Structure 1
Amino acid sequence: MDKFVKSVKISVIFTLLALLSSELNASQYTAVCENTITVFKSNQLMPDGEVKVSSDRASLTTNQEAKFEGNVEIVSDTAAITADSATVLNNGNRVIAQGDVDYKDNLLNVTSTSIDVDSLNRTLEIIDTEYQLTEFGGQGVAKSIDISESDGVALNGVTFTTCPLTNVDWQIKASQISFEEGSTVAEAKHARFYVKDVPVFYLPYFAYPVGTERQTGLLFPNISSSSQTGIDIEQPFYWNIAPNYDLTLTPRLTTLRGFQLKTEFRYLTESSRGSINLDFLPEDADLEDRDSRYFYRFFHEQQLSNKWFINADFNGVSDSNYIIDLGSDFFNRADTHLSRTLGLDFLGDNLNASFYLRDFDIIAEDITTYRALPEIKVEGIYPLARYLEFQFNSEFAYFDNAAESEPKALRLHLAPTLRLPVIRPWGELSAEATLYNTIYRQTDLEFSPELEEDVTRTIGQGRLFGTLYFERNGSWLGKHSKVTLEPKFQYLYTSFESQDNIGLYDSTVLFTDFNGLFRGREFTGLDRISDNNQVTLGVTSRIIDSSSREKFVFSLGQIFYFDDSRVSIFRGDDNRSALAGEIDWRINKRWLLHGDTLLSANSQQVDRSSVTLGYQISAQKLVQLSHRYVRNLSDETIDQLGLSISWPLAKNWQWVGRVYRDLELNRSIETYTGIEYESCCWSLRVVAQRYLTNRFDTSGQQTLNEYDSGVSFQFSFKGLGSKKASRQLLEDGIFGYRQPYSLN
């Protein structure tokens, strides 16, 4: 009988779960707020194959029939039943429980007036039930549940909701839900969706798949408005094609631009995963020429063997303003380019290799960039002795450019290194010598007369690095702590070779911070290697509490130049770099401070800085004040102040506000505010936003004075679509909330 009862229970749960969602796995909803759920403990059950029956009174009427009355409790190895009375018939093959009947197991609580289980005929009948799915967070009532091996499952007069039964904001009612044993499809008759007591949707009949796996069907719509799109309505449809394939189709209607179709196809195999996205808007009504607009993305990752991997990431848009006008699920309005890569990686014990094709789609009409077709890298580290190791880095790349006026180049680079590393708990000392050998073959030099077709460059570099770790016990704000002092030293020498005859294919100047002082390079890529004769001095101090958590970290460092660089002309006549400092301070459980700065050595002016002060009580209750400053970024001064606040207004009410201002131009960059009501069974969110659009004109120049304003509206019933946490309000918008640093 126990096996039959268990299979019946699973059938009922599958049927009820089918009401939960047309797409989402219901197991995400683990809380049924305001409802008291009796936690069923496995130690209440009997050993396998055993059944225990207890009651106030018991009588044996025949050899095959027994009656139990008063506080009847039947406990098996899977469930427990309590009732006012119970009759066991047919030598234990049929049980009838009556009165105040309560059935409990680790997934389901059911109360009813009568339960009749017949294991010989394989039938079960439950009358006047009230059920609760303890693990999935849903409940309801049913006039009767009839289950038989021949006819399947039928729930008559059934309801479902994730709200407490004492305060039902929404529910689904059906006159009958049924499905046959072994079937993957259930049938619902006269299904009605109610908000409070008002019916808002009716289907006389529909069939749907049953189970807790993803289901095909409509998802909740997204409704918003903005000055770029007008009223914007999206209605996603999810198609569960197979356990490892699915497709989401999202028709989108915008009153200013017209109809758009967004698609996402996802796949998963034992060795790979990926997705294909295609969004298409035919004849944009808001453009004078009514051009069609599109976005595409192909992403793929696959493990070919234990050491070989392949990946692909292709992205593209029809025009530079697509993301600004229509948005994207993958890119931000501030992004400057879209990547297109195809790569093959080998990860060995001492040797790593990669083969890549790299291209970029620059989001500006008149700007082109170099693509690497291909880029091959091989690098390895081999120990030669206890304190000696050999490392080599090599690269072969061909750089192409869509612009006919730009040169092309083939580059071969070999860089062997001998290193003597000594790493101990008290510190580190390492010395290394590297020889950079690079060969260029440059073509299409008609518009670049300063470049040469054949260039061979050989540069030597020596580096000596050391650091010590001192620590002592002390106190910090009256508490026992450990204080560390970590001085760092680096001497770097790099020989000079003129590189004016080499084009810039993948190189640009790197920003410097404290860690960058010890980087040993001032450019990305290999087209420029600066000559150096310099010493870098730095120090870091940490305060660590008794739980080994960093409470305070402070770093300060500077580079001292012995010779002027003939490659890095941006240094000017300074004999030392800007003073770089960083501070991370967990003031207490609620207050956090992060700051970093670059202070010019000669002018004593701040070249770049950022400061963030955060006050956080919980994930939903925080305030963050931030400021960033760059004296000269592409001949512009960046001076921005931001304030982000997330705060509960009342029970179930959450507010998030954010404002960023440009202090240099005295104007707003982004203003964002959102308010959300979230109960245990439904949520409502309203968001308003105003921000600089920075659209591109036909010449590729950005307009810096146009704003976009918009309002979005989201409403969902929990258990009938995606569940959005209040914290997502912090992540929306252009800037979003980010914790600026992380102390362990």
Structure 2
Amino acid sequence: MQINQLIFSLFAILPGSVWAQQVTSCPTPIEGFVADEDILQDQIRVSANRADIQRNQIAQFDGNVTIVSDKSKIEAQSATIDVPNTQLTAIGDVTFQDKLMVVNSKDVLLNTDSGKLSMADTNYQLTQFGGRGAADRIEIDQNQGVELQGVSYTTCPVGQEDWKISASSIGIEEGELWGEAYNTVFYVKDVPVFYLPYFVFPVSDQRQSGLLFPEITTSSATGPSYEQPIYWNIAPNFDATFSPRFMSKRGTQIKTEFRYLFDQSAGQFNVEYLPEDREDINQADRYFYRYAHSGKLAKNWQLNIDFNGLSDDNYIVDFGSDYYNRADTHLYRTLGINYYSQNLDFSMNFRDFAVIGDHPANYRALPEMKLNYQTDKFSGLEFRVTSELAYFDNQQEGEPKATRFHIAPSLALPLRSQWGEFLAEATLLNTYYKQENVAGTQLAEETNRTLGQGRVFGALFLERDINWLGEQQTQTLEPKIQYLYTEFKEQSEIGLYDTTQLLNDFNGLFRGQEFTGLDRISDNNQVTVGLTSRILDKNSREQFKLSLGQIFYLEDNRVEAASKNDDRSALASELDWQIGSKWFAHTELQLSTKTDKVERSSISLEYQLTDDKILQFNHRFVRSLSGEQIDQFGITASWPLSTNWHWVGRWYKDLSTQRTIESYMGVQYESCCWSFSLVSQRHLSNRFDAQGMQNTQEFETSVNLKFSFKFTGSEARSGRRKMLEDGLFGYRQAYLIN
């Protein structure tokens, strides 16, 4: 048993989740003891200015005495080893050090036979957890445990003790997970604010049941709110967290989380329940549940479950969620079984949804099975077969239903080298439908669609040395071209079950399909041209990348959903640029070459001086999305105000409606031993009315307050990063060097 185990556990008298936090020492880390590999177990090495040794009796050492074993080191002005009485005594500015702590004491008495260690008038500092304190006396017995008298603990610097803990007596028995403390007092600025005559606390870094840090918030939806998580360590592979949340406007909500972990599977079950919501006209009960599981069934077989549900459309809007946000329109309910091997993979999924708001009911795939096979054992040719069998159901009465079977054999000739690649591919697409509830529609009860498709793709990778902004760099030139032909067949007699039109960014130009799913396969006779140029530094790190691409249609599309009124697609471009060492730019643009108008664009410019000095500008534009224009501009900033104070701010405006859609500001004070954060946020509430229509006029305002003592010198950046990423338009890095 080590003394540091005791001090590490003292913070358990107050709620805290610091077990999971990272640790930093403050102000200056102390190196832990590192044993000399030449010292054997139960062996000690003594060095001193003077030594007086009586054979097999007493050894006296004086002046700069150092006693080193394989586990610890003692430094003192003088030391005596009494062989007959198996005692070692060290006095005069004694320092005891092991891997996790350093103790300064007036004297140290060690029984070399029993291993019992006694130190008086001690001051200690932990090397791993950044804490320090004092004890009148420390008794360590390898067989019995540890006893401390008159002990204190803090993570604050010397002379700046904003808080500390003191106890008259603490005892820990060897092999126990819990210790006992008597007459414990918590001080803030030398003022006692909390007293416990007796309590037990964990003495190891194993998960222990207890209170976690609470969360105090207030918002226009809930009023002042206090959430207190309670953690239960049920078993090494089971745990649970219960979080009562007291909301002044709505009542008491219970949030629960149960987790399990086995050798080849893991899962989590969440239930949230609020009885008789006081803000609801009908005093309705409100709830949310979620079950997620991922595990191995057998060799190469995998099982995945993701099942969610809630009581009403506004649950996430009113109470928030760790798994969904306000923009989500569906909650997933999926059961999947998968098989993987080198050449063959199989999946069977049951896909269902819980619809949020007044959105069309999606088709459920109950089930959807896919079987894919590929091999390259045909003299360099690659043979591939993709197949699918699915049944689509809709909860909306009277909607068509369908069974769909699809198979697509493909034969390809791939050629690849360092300077380029070439691919020629031929595919036969065959899809059979059996449809129900088609009376009064143009859909056919049975239909079979067979299409041929051919694709030829080529790319070159060229490079040269250039001088870029005064530095020797490498520039690449990567032209690529693709010809795609897909024959036409009338498809209006097929319903739309899992099909939506895709947006074409630069990479999407070479995709060859304009829709998700299989219900619509566009006829193609087109050439796609693309060009990418990169600038790499001497370490092959990307400093600049520009991509341009466009599709040229040789014939008009005859599939109605894919028809075009132009002979070419919008010009798609992407730009990533590391401008010097501090500025980063990322843009995506789709420009109509017929009207010379921007169809879609996304621009992000970021200045990053350090990890916590960030300024980011964002603009997003979509000319038409579901009949509406999106034109939004935003600024995100993170900046230290002083050594201990940090500020995070964010502001987003809708330029189409000329109104602010989100404003966010947070300030945090962070010292070595405690932290405080205050966050204010205002954003669109997006509440649904009784008909499921979303209100885009009301705003919600909230204030979050967090205060915590750092019982282990916890990492400062975690709180700042959470503020930076929080909210509807949380920070995302604009550019990543590959």
Name the TM-score, length of structure 1 as normaliser: 0.96
1:508 aligns with 2:508: no
- The one of 686, 692, 706 equivalent to 2:678 is 686
Identify if the C-alpha distance between structure 1 residues 52 and 636 changes in structure 2 by more than 3 Å, giving closer, same or farther.
same
2:515 corresponds to which residue?
Answer: 523
Shift of 1:449: 1.2
Runs of 4+ in 1 over 6 A off after TM superposition: none
Residue number among 60, 73, 83 corresponding to 2:76 in the alignment:
83
Alignment of 1:160-199 (within 5 A): 160-199=153-192
After TM superposition, the structure 1 stretch with the greater mean CA deviation from structure 2, 208-217 or 269-278, is 208-217
Counterpart of 1:711? 703
2:734 pairs with 1:740: yes
Identify which of 236, 250, 270 aligns with 1:257. Answer: 250
Q: Which residue of 2 aligns with 1:329?
A: 322
Match of 2:554 among 558, 562, 566: 562
How has the CA–CA distance of structure 1 residues 700 and 26 changed in structure 2, closer, same or farther, with 3 Å as cutoff?
closer
CA contact (8 A) 1:461 1:495 kept: yes
Q: Report the secondary structure of 2:634's partner residue.
A: strand
Partner in structure 2 of residue 421 of structure 1: 414
Distance (Å, rounded) in 1 between the aligned partners of 2:206 and 2:188:
26
Secondary structure, counterpart of 2:316 in structure 1: helix
Aligned to 1:353: 346
Moved more, 695-704 or 139-148: 139-148
Question: Once the two structures are superposed, what CA deviation does each residue of 1:328-348 show, in whole Å capped at 9, x if it has no partner?
Answer: 111111222211111111110
C-alpha displacement of 1:720: 6.8
User: Offset of 1:620 from its aligned partner?
Assistant: 0.7
Residue 4 of structure 1: aligned partner: none
Cα distance change, pair 697–36 in 1 and its aligned pair in 2 (3 A)? closer
Secondary structure, aligned partner of 2:327: coil
C-alpha distance in structure 2 between counterparts of 1:645 and 1:592, whole Å: 14
Query: Which stretch of the first structure deviates more once superposed, 341-350 or 48-57?
Result: 48-57
In the alignment, the residues of structure 2 paired with residue 25 and residue 700 of structure 1 have an alpha-carbon distance, to the nearest angstrom, of 42
Question: CA separation in 2, counterparts of 1:161 and 1:176?
Answer: 17
Question: 1:3 — aligned with what?
Answer: none
Please give the alpha-carbon distance, in whole angstroms, between the structure 1 residues aligned to 2:713 and 2:521. Answer: 55
Q: Is the 8 A contact 1:688 1:710 kept in 2?
A: yes
Residue 9 of structure 2 is matched in structure 1 by: 18
- Tell me what 2:64 maps to: 71
Percent identity of the aligned residues? 51
* 1:648-687 map, 5 Å: 648-687=640-679
CA contact (8 A) 2:423 2:456 kept: yes
CA distance in 1, matches of 2:555, 2:144: 92
Q: Which residue of 2 aligns with 1:480?
A: 472
Q: Structure 2: how far apart are the matches of 1:330 and 1:91?
A: 68
| Residue number among 111, 131, 149 corresponding to 1:138 in the alignment | 131
Measured in 2, the distance between the counterparts of 1:211 and 1:607 equals: 59
Q: Deviations for 1:177-201, whole angstroms, at most 9, x for unmatched residues?
A: 1122222221111112122211222
Question: Within the alignment, does 1:727 sit opposite 2:729 as a pair?
Answer: no
Residue identity opposite 2:457 in structure 1: F
Q: Indicate how the Cα distance of structure 1 residues 579 and 366 shifts in structure 2: closer, same or farther if over 3 A, else same.
A: closer
CA displacement at 1:122 relative to structure 2: 4.5
The aligned counterpart of 2:615 is: 623
Instruction: Indicate whether 1:319 and 2:312 are aligned.
Output: yes
Q: Show structure 1 runs of 5+ residues with no match.
A: 1-9
Q: Which amino acid aligns with 1:740?
A: A
8 Å CA contact retained: 2:584, 2:606: yes
Are residue 344 (structure 1) and residue 349 (structure 2) matched? no
Number of corresponding residues = 734
Distance change (3 Å), C-alpha of 1:507 and 1:74: same
Q: Are residues 117 and 421 of structure 1, via their aligned partners in 2, closer, same or farther at CA, if it must alter by over 3 Å?
A: same
Between 686-695 and 180-189, the greater mean CA deviation after superposition: 180-189
Alignment of 1:97-136 (within 5 A): 97-136=90-129
CA RMSD of aligned residues (A): 1.8
Structure 2 counterpart SS, 1:704: coil
Cα deviation per residue 1:652-710 (whole Å; 9 max; x = unaligned)?
21111101100000001100011111111111100000001111111111111000001
After alignment, is 636-645 or 130-139 more displaced?
A: 130-139
Q: Is the 8 Å Cα contact of residues 23 and 215 (structure 1) preserved in structure 2?
A: no
* Contact 2:17–2:212 (CA under 8 A) maintained in structure 1: no
Quote how far apart the aligned CAs of 1:123 are.
Answer: 2.5
Q: Report how far residue 214 of structure 1 moved.
A: 1.6
Cα 1:686–1:652 shift into 2, 3 Å? same
Conserved in 1, the CA contact under 8 Å of 2:22 and 2:714? no
Cα distance change on mapping 1:36 and 1:357 into 2, 3 Å: closer
Q: CA deviation at 1:45?
A: 7.3
Q: Deviations over 1:284-317 (max 9, x none)?
A: 1111111111111111111233411111111111
- 1:550 and 2:542 equivalent? yes
Q: Which amino acid aligns with 1:449?
A: T
Residues 438 and 297 from structure 1, CA distance in 2 versus in 1: closer, same or farther, beyond 3 angstroms? same
| Cα distance in structure 1, aligned partners of 2:123 and 2:392 | 70
Distance in 1 separating the partners of 2:220 and 2:18: 36
C-alpha separation in 2, matches of 1:44 and 1:30? 28
Within 2, Cα distance between the matches of 1:230 and 1:302?
41
CA distance in 2: counterparts of 1:311 and 1:722, whole angstroms: 35
- Paired with 2:37 and 2:375, the residues of 1 have a C-alpha distance of 60
Amino acid of the structure 2 residue aligned with 1:644: T
- Distance in 2, matches of 1:45 and 1:157, equals 38
- 2:182 partner letter: K
Stretches of structure 2 that go unaligned for 5 or more consecutive residues are: none
Counterpart-to-counterpart distance in 2, 1:563 and 1:701: 42
Q: 1:122 to 1:592 in 2, by over 3 A?
A: closer
What is the aligned partner in structure 2 of residue 6 from structure 1? none
- Equivalent residues of 1:20, 1:26 under 8 A apart: no
Task: Give 1:204 shift.
Answer: 0.9
Question: Once the two structures are superposed, what CA deviation does each residue of 1:455-504 show, in whole Å capped at 9, x if it has no partner?
Answer: 11111111111111111111111111111111111111111111111111
Mean Cα deviation higher: 482-491 or 180-189: 180-189
- 3-state DSSP class of the match of 2:284? coil
Report what 1:59 is aligned to: 52
Checking the alignment, whether the CA contact within 8 Å between 1:393 and 1:414 is kept in structure 2 is yes
Tell whether the 8 Å contact from 2:682 to 2:702 is kept in structure 1 after alignment: yes
* Distance change (3 Å), C-alpha of 1:159 and 1:424: same
Q: What's 2:394 paired with? A: 401
**CA-CA distance at 1:106 after TM superposition:** 1.9
SS of equivalent residue, structure 1 residue 727: helix
Instruction: State the SS of the aligned residue for 1:18.
Output: helix
TM-score (norm 2): 0.96
Pair 1:517–1:711, CA change in 2 (3 A): same
Q: Partner amino acid for 2:722?
A: Q
Deviation of residue 570 (structure 1)? Answer: 5.3
Does the 8 A contact of 1:23 with 1:238 survive in 2?
A: no
| Structure 1 counterpart SS, 2:298 | coil
1:372 aligns with 2:381: no
Residues of 1 paired with 2:733 and 2:48: CA distance?
60
The one-letter code of the counterpart of 1:733 is G
For 1:202-237, what per-residue CA distance to the aligned partner results, in whole angstroms no more than 9, with x for missing partners? 111112332111221111110111111110110111
Would you say 1:645 and 2:637 are equivalent positions? yes
1:366 positional shift: 5.7
In the TM superposition, 1:24-35 aligns within 5 A as 24=17, 26=19, 28-35=21-28
CA distance in 1, matches of 2:76, 2:359: 80
Q: Distance in 2 between matches of 1:150 and 1:560?
A: 82
Check whether the contact 2:296–2:302 (CA below 8 A) recurs between aligned residues. Answer: yes
Alignment partners' CA distance in 2, 1:403 and 1:368: 7
Q: How much has 1:44 moved relative to structure 2?
A: 8.7
SS in 1 for 2:24: coil
Q: How many Å apart are 1:165 and its aligned residue?
A: 3.4
